[in-house]
Structure 1
Amino acid sequence: MADIHVEEFYKDVAIALVQLYGAFPRRVNLFVEDIAGPDEPDEFGLHSKRHMACFGALLWLEEEGLLRYVDTIRQEALDQAVLSHAAFVRLSAPAPVELNRRLNQDQAHAGDHLPPSVQEDLSTHIHLIRKALKTGHSGRISQVVQATFFADDKH
């Protein structure tokens, strides 16, 4: 089992990517509270570790070339964020067949009767990320995000 902060990182990344993909190509403000949940700064105005970890994950996505933004809004949001070309292409690409099979074991052959174009849409990385988020299972979310961005770049 991964450390909790790593699992939260994967979940934060997944939520941010889904939000940005859903708005693409529009630029949107990406709010930490929409990703990590509400946060009340302490008496000194400092955010919680959880809030700052999420904010750090968003900054990391930019540093790794997965998104762009114009500015930060304090430590609350990224102003005018948009997916990078590389992130958009990767999220839109079909995931490896073995990953699709592993994540869809409970629905084996359910998609066999769908038109090929629908089957193709359901096999993309972004669809698998959305599906993993719906389950709420941190291991599945971690697995899908890792497969999307941190696996070898053979496709």
Structure 2
Amino acid sequence: MADIHVEEFYKDVAIALVQLYGAFPRRINLFVEDIAGPDDPDEFGLHSRRHMACFGTLLWLEEEGLIRYVDTIRQEALDQAVLTRNAFVRLSAPAPASLAPASRQGYDQREEALPPSVQKDLSTHIHLIRTALKSGHSGHISQIVQGTFFADDNH
């Protein structure tokens, strides 16, 4: 079992990527509270460990070349954030079938009857991330985010 802060990291990454993908190519303000939940700063105005971990995750996404932003809004948000080309292409790409065994448990012949374009959309990394977030299972979220980051670049 992973450390709780690592599982929170994967969940924060997934939520941020889904928000940015949903707005792409528009730039948006990416608020920490929309990802990690409400924060109650202490009497000195310092944010909680959880809030700061999420903020650190957003900064890490930029350092790793997955997002861009114009500036930070204190430690509350990223101003005018957008996915990079590489992140957009990766999230839009079909994921390997081995990445989503849990999401395929409900697979039936009705999916085969769907138009090819819909079948393709259901196999993308972003769809798998959204499905994992809906499941709420931290292990599944971690698996999908790891698979998205470390997937073969030829996919």
Q: TM-score band, normalised by the shorter chain?
A: over 0.9
Q: Verify: 1:58 aligned to 2:66, yes or no.
A: no
User: What amino acid is the match of 1:112?
Assistant: E
Rounded to whole Å, the distance in 1 between the matches of 2:119 and 2:25 is 24
Secondary structure at 2:72 match in 1: strand
Distance in 1 between the 2:98 and 2:35 partners? Answer: 29
**Matched residues in 1 for 2:99 and 2:117: separation?**
19
Give 1:98 deviation, angstroms.
1.7
Report which stretch shifted further, 109-118 or 9-18.
109-118
Q: Which residue of 2 aligns with 1:47?
A: 47
Cα distance, 1:111 vs structure 2: 1.4
8 Å Cα contact 2:67/2:84 also seen in 1: yes
TM-score, normalised relative to structure 2: 0.96
> Could you say which structure has the higher helix fraction?
1
The Cα of 1:99 is off from its aligned counterpart by 1.7
Match of 1:150 in 2: 150
Whole-Å Cα distance in 1 between the matches of residues 131 and 93 of structure 2? 16
What do the CA deviations read for 1:68-97 (whole angstroms, capped 9, x no partner)?
000000000000000000000000000002
Specify the code of the residue in structure 2 equivalent to 1:90. Answer: R
Root-mean-square deviation (Å): 1.0
Instruction: Quote the offset at 1:117 in angstroms.
Output: 1.0
Match of 1:98 in 2: 98
Tell me which amino acid in the other structure corresponds to 2:106: Q
**Superposed displacement of residue 5, structure 1:** 0.2
Aligned length: 154
Q: What's the counterpart of residue 14 of structure 1?
A: 14
SS of equivalent to 1:103: coil
Q: Which amino acid aligns with 1:106?
A: Q
Partner of 1:108: 107
1:148 and 1:62 mapped to 2: Cα distance? 16
Which residue pairs with 1:80 in the alignment? 80
CA distance in 1, matches of 2:137, 2:62: 26
Distance 2:64 2:124 in 1: 21
Task: Work out whether residues 129 and 141 of structure 2, in 8 Å CA contact, stay in contact via their aligned partners in 1.
Answer: yes
Q: Gapped runs of 5+ residues in structure 2?
A: none
TM-score, normalization: structure 1?
Answer: 0.96
**Cα separation, 2, equivalents of 1:70 and 1:49:** 24
Q: Secondary structure at the match of 1:2?
A: coil
